[in-house]
Structure 1
Amino acid sequence: MGDSSVTSKPLDVAIIGGGIVGVITALGLLRRGAHVTIYERSPSWPDNGAAFAFTGVARQCMQSLDPTILEALSHVAVRSPAKTVRYWDGFNPRTKEAAQQEETALLFETPEKDLAFWGTLRTPFLHQLAAALPKEGDVVQFGKRLTGYVDDWEEGSDKVELNFADGTTAEADVVLSPVIACDGVHSTTRKLLLGADPAAKAKYAHKMVYRALMPVDGAIAAFGTAKASVNCFHLGPDAHMVMNGAAFNVHLFVHDPDDWPDVHNSEKPSSREEVQNALQSWGPHVTELLMHLPEKVSKWAVFDMADHPAATYASGRIAVAGDAAHASSPFHGAGAGMGVEDGLVICELLADLGAGSDEVHPGQLAAALRAYSDVRIPRTQWLVESSRQVGDMYQWRYGPTGRDAARTKDEFVQRQRKIWDFDPEEMVKGARVELEKQLGVLSSRGHV
């Protein structure tokens, strides 16, 4: 019998990676009474110009995780004023006037309200989330690059040991310490967890993206006021363009049949001339727009896990989530939202075990993370594969749709519906059912 006068310790959770999903999961666990430490490899919060969009489903999950998360997003999010998202032909129109006319250039449109995206840049949102973390208790430790871990729970060890590149270690009571890795597309933890499995490394999706800001007046001259003031897509052979009218931010995605030369560096220098050469046969409105690009631009490789999906997101008391588990190309715009869904499942299952106490057996923690993995794999890996295919649809490379606008719309809407027509509460219920199964297996093996 324990001493009832001894104060129970909360579950101690280490989170590897201080990105969006990592901090969101940390806030959800803190709200449920856990003790959390975020280990971030950078010397400070990462500064990254990437943009995210969060669906209505993702925002439901944020509210359930911790209402301060949704509040943080509301301070920095941009919401489209348009009722539809429009997909235009960027290739065939031979005049600028034809490119602006719906009857000649509009391929299809979809309701904006279904996915109900709130868009934001990564850095301001991350700073809003960081401000919501407790100021005391050393919740975040910077300059901590994970190099290895030891998790011997089946041999009776009561600790998970983390090893960092600076020679330091972190140790926590295993009864209190699952490790949740949210360390991105090229996750170190995924490599450690999966070892020689090809899924340990994300692969080049044979898509690269040129990103640039350009003068709004140049965009208006090329596309007209109506197009230049809203978000829209331009589709064509082997490339497509996404335009954000708010700051006139252009993302140009191009199919690349070659291999990316350096898997450790996803950014390469490029030029306006290279972009113009890639789209030289496109319509005059697009070629005119490209004249307003800066002379020097950069291009980024898109990596995902479509070629080799992971067989599991968890092993023992170690789990990966978000991009670390299911890195996706951006063509559905839902990868970050899937990471938020991951965080909700993890937080609810650990809370069910007792996030605010130390009465949790190591095997129960392993069972909870296995349940999380089993529940999340089907939906997240469907997204990774579907996103890759949607990128090909936009670039007229997907066989079943080709250049047929009606077929493309039907296929695309069907896939979109699978993202937004989803109940997070049912997801959590399913995870709890799976946890009970895993605990039963654990009990039958004498691990509890």
Structure 2
Amino acid sequence: MSPARVAVIGAGVVGPVAAMLLKQKGYDVVLYERLDSPSEAGLGLAIQQNGQAVLARIPGLVKHIDGHPMDEFHFYSVMPEDPGLLGISDHPRRHREMSALGSTSVQRPVLHKRLTEFAKKLGIPVNFGHKLEKLEQTEDSVTVTFANGVQETFSFVVGCDGLHSNTRSCLFGETSADYTGVSQWGGLSPTPEFWKGKRAPADLYGNGAHMIVVPVSDSLMTWALSQRGPEFKEEWRSIDAAAAEHFKKNSPFSQWPFGAGELVRNSLKIVRYGIYDRPELKTWFRGRVVLIGDAAHPTSPFLGMGANQSYEDVGLLIDLLEKYSPSTESPSTDTLAAAFTELERVRLPRTADLVKRARIQGETRVVSGVEACIKRNNYYRDVCNDPVKFKARFGILV
């Protein structure tokens, strides 16, 4: 019999990986994306060892992505009352030496492009400009209707369409997003002299503000600056040129030490966006449709584990499909329910814990008042000197 047809909704940083692993298993996979081309939104993304372990299951993909290796994590205080280096963790280097899997970073738009390129290379149709509008299920199939009028029928559907998931809305209705009270400025900049030769992201802590900087190549770094304040839309897109120039020249962050101010002043683009929470889903599937990644468990970016947790979801989903449905024939609804239920049983507690820890990270990084900030700084001094505390705090499990 012919292999089952599977639709993967969303061609961001997760959907192509799901499509490639499904194709590798033997399914007839089609990938759909609501945008007209690979997204140019977003800044940088860290692929940690748990994410790399899943990507490495697709021969040649990690090399094609060509991420920038990271060896250390650095922590600095930019407060005049308590300035200087808080600590350094060499966890990424040690983990790479132990397992050959370390942390890498890449520009998010570059990752989008390279993933879709590789999916096409493997023979997966990638259909842009297809916004999901309706899902209609029968006992043995799912009919997918898109806003452009295209309608196709599949054995089952995997929704990988991120924070604004149309798949989730089709299954469970619209869910409101709650502003966390934290917004970010972000940018892409030439590497300052201070950071040249250091393959290390860094957290910089100020009074009422926090900045993370991440090298994405030998010559470029991304950065994101968090503050509490008025609500901004969750778009991750560039602001207009006049507002960007005003921020680069006049914001107090343009004078921060340790290369941070230089990153702000010389940024090639500036984005502005709010950080939002969404209600936790109690189930990730209905019938023959399952959610993966941010479509199922959206998280704030403060642990850098969003994409990596999504890759863990995908890896386990493929393993469970192999366990419950070894052939590539269309699985029964009961078979899919068994696989999807076990996926939830394993993944729901882990992702819920990491979402919670990411929220805590956001709350503890952006504090105000000299006394509170020094207390925070001392906490990170302690964490950096204790590998066990470091791994527990940042969600890095080995």
Q: TM-score range by the shorter chain?
A: 0.7 to 0.9
Residue 79 of structure 1, CA deviation: 0.7
Contact kept, 8 Å, 2:207 with 2:367, in 1: the verdict is yes
Residue 301 of structure 1, CA deviation: 2.3
Matched, 1:146 2:132: yes
Contact kept, 8 Å, 1:63 with 1:69, in 2: the verdict is yes
Residue 281 of structure 1, CA deviation: 11
Name which of 321, 339, 345 aligns with 2:310: 339
Residue 77 of structure 1, CA deviation: 0.6
Contact kept, 8 Å, 1:354 with 1:360, in 2: the verdict is yes
Identity percentage over the alignment?
A: 24
Residue 54 of structure 1, CA deviation: 1.1
User: Gapped runs of 5+ residues in structure 1?
Assistant: 1-7, 95-103, 423-448
Q: Secondary structure at the match of 2:119?
A: coil
TM-score when normalising by structure 1: 0.74
In the alignment, the residues of structure 2 paired with residue 71 and residue 358 of structure 1 have an alpha-carbon distance, to the nearest angstrom, of: 32
- Output the aligned Cα RMSD: 3.3
Residue 235 of structure 1, CA deviation: 0.6
In the alignment, the residues of structure 1 paired with residue 254 and residue 113 of structure 2 have an alpha-carbon distance, to the nearest angstrom, of: 42
Structure 2 counterpart of 1:249, one-letter code: M
Q: Name the residue aligned to 1:105.
A: 84
Name which of 198, 207, 210 aligns with 1:237: 207
TM-score when normalising by structure 2: 0.83
Matched, 1:210 2:185: yes
Q: Name the residue aligned to 1:317.
A: 288
Structure 1 counterpart of 2:31, one-letter code: I
Residue 389 of structure 1, CA deviation: 1.4
Q: Secondary structure at the match of 2:40?
A: coil
Say if 1:403 and 1:374 are closer, same or farther in 2 by CA, change over 3 A.
farther
Name which of 403, 411, 419 aligns with 2:395: 419
Structure 1 counterpart of 2:68, one-letter code: V
Q: Name the residue aligned to 1:253.
A: 225
Q: Name the residue aligned to 2:59.
A: 67
Q: Secondary structure at the match of 1:309?
A: coil
Matched, 1:28 2:21: yes
Say if 1:286 and 1:133 are closer, same or farther in 2 by CA, change over 3 A.
closer
Contact kept, 8 Å, 2:211 with 2:225, in 1: the verdict is yes
Contact kept, 8 Å, 2:207 with 2:373, in 1: the verdict is no
Say if 1:402 and 1:212 are closer, same or farther in 2 by CA, change over 3 A.
closer
Q: Secondary structure at the match of 2:353?
A: helix
Deviations 1:269-319 (A, max 9, x none): 4335447766479866678537724698431223343xx211121121111
In the alignment, the residues of structure 2 paired with residue 411 and residue 15 of structure 1 have an alpha-carbon distance, to the nearest angstrom, of: 40
Residue 322 of structure 1, CA deviation: 1.3
Contact kept, 8 Å, 1:9 with 1:356, in 2: the verdict is no
Q: Name the residue aligned to 1:348.
A: 319
Q: Name the residue aligned to 1:98.
A: none
In the alignment, the residues of structure 2 paired with residue 19 and residue 357 of structure 1 have an alpha-carbon distance, to the nearest angstrom, of: 25
Bigger Cα displacement from structure 2, 22-31 vs 123-132? 123-132
Name which of 155, 159, 173 aligns with 1:181: 159
Q: Name the residue aligned to 1:298.
A: 271
Say if 1:347 and 1:225 are closer, same or farther in 2 by CA, change over 3 A.
closer
Contact kept, 8 Å, 1:303 with 1:327, in 2: the verdict is no
Matched, 1:85 2:68: no
Q: Secondary structure at the match of 1:390?
A: helix
Matched, 1:44 2:37: yes
User: Gapped runs of 5+ residues in structure 2?
Assistant: 96-101
Residue 268 of structure 1, CA deviation: 4.6
Residue 247 of structure 1, CA deviation: 3.1
Q: Name the residue aligned to 1:362.
A: 333
Residue 61 of structure 1, CA deviation: 2.1
Matches within 5 A, 1:428-443: none
Structure 2 counterpart of 1:187, one-letter code: S
Say if 1:402 and 1:381 are closer, same or farther in 2 by CA, change over 3 A.
farther
Q: Secondary structure at the match of 1:106?
A: strand
In the alignment, the residues of structure 1 paired with residue 382 and residue 333 of structure 2 have an alpha-carbon distance, to the nearest angstrom, of: 48
